[in-house]
Amino acid sequence: MNFAVIGGDVRQRYLAGLLTEEGHRVTTAALGLESDANPACAASADIVILPLPAVTAEGYLNAPSSSERHDPGDVILSIPSGARLFAGRLPEKLRLLAEEGGVRVYDYSAREDFAVLNAAITAEGAVQTVLNGLDTTLDGCRCLVVGYGRIGRALAPKLRALGARVTVSARKSADRVWIAVSGFTPADTGALRGIAADFDVAVNTVPAMVLDADCVRQMKKGALCVDLASAPGGVDAAAAEEAGVRCLWALALPGKTAPRSAAEAVRRTIYNILYEESAENG
């Protein structure tokens, strides 16, 4: 099978390597490698893989390792009819452009299997970030995990395993019951101002301003906040700095702390999709 891995960061480099190790023919582009081809290499591929996200906020192909800017539309138009395109959060207009050209499009980032794998990798990276930011051990630390989504559910047990005393907040009462049943102290995300002073470490997983100025000003001087939320984040970093609270904005952790594992998550998800499609077609 012929793959074209186009754009992305070190995760995509590992992905290309994994596919090559498995005997596939792999062409890379816009990855900053000496062996890179032109992004039009998609024309000879059966499967084209774009990164997560596929496109930058400015509308260019997400290719931070490339010295050039690439129009994702040109890549789409070069993909032959009947090929498959796997991309993370591909804009709707590009998805329609691909489908109009007879290309089958899949958003691997929308899959639950990928989301769970990615959350586990992110959680481990968050623990590493916390450990690097502390001048003490986690053992005995009072930690707050804000949010009980996939990342929060993966992160809380990892912190507890290292001896932390873990509180997890959620907005839904049902989630707070699950938190308690799982052995953690539950809290209401909408009422963090009343308990913020209790914690040595706070890790935010919610893409909304939950640790606002009032919250971080109540935290202990020297406490650590780690924000995992995408821009604009969920921690008032300016207020934290004024209050003497250390704030780390830790974005794209899978690509930074475990790029090979992150690549494996993409590869595994793509294989799952191909297997399911094959099973459906008999």
Same-domain pairing of 31 and 14? yes
Q: Do residues 56 and 167 share a domain? A: no
Residue 232 pLDDT > 90 = no
Check whether residue 214 and residue 135 sit in a common domain: yes
Residue 199 domain boundaries = 115-251
Which amino acid makes up residue 33?
Answer: L
CA distance 246 to 219: 10
Question: Is there a single domain that holds both residue 77 and residue 135?
Answer: no
pTM of this structure: 0.92
Domain count, the chain: 2
- CA pair distance 246, 40, nearest whole angstrom: 45
Both 122 and 15 in one domain: the answer is no
Cβ atoms of 65 and 36 closer than 8 Å: no
147, 262: one domain: no
Question: Position of tokens 């000879």?
Answer: 44
Q: Same domain, yes or no, for 159 and 132?
A: yes
For residues 12 and 92, membership in a common domain is answered with: yes
Do 263 and 227 have their domain in common? no
What pLDDT is recorded for position 87? 98
The residue behind tokens 């502390």 is 134
What is the percent of the chain with per-residue pLDDT over 70, rounded to a whole number? 100
- pLDDT value at 5 more than 90: yes
3-state secondary structure 22-77: CCCEEEEECCCCCCCECHHHHHHCCEEECCCCCECCCCCECCCCCCCCCCHHHHHH
Q: How many residues does the chain have?
A: 282
97 and 177 both lie in a single domain = no
CATH number, domain at 18? Answer: 3.40.50.720
Mean pLDDT of 242-254: 94
pLDDT for position 282: 64
Residues forming a β-bridge with 84: 47, 104
Same domain for 94 and 9: yes
Which pLDDT belongs to residue 1? 87
Positive/negative CA dihedral, 48, 42, 52, 14: positive
In this structure, are 245 and 176 located in the same domain? yes
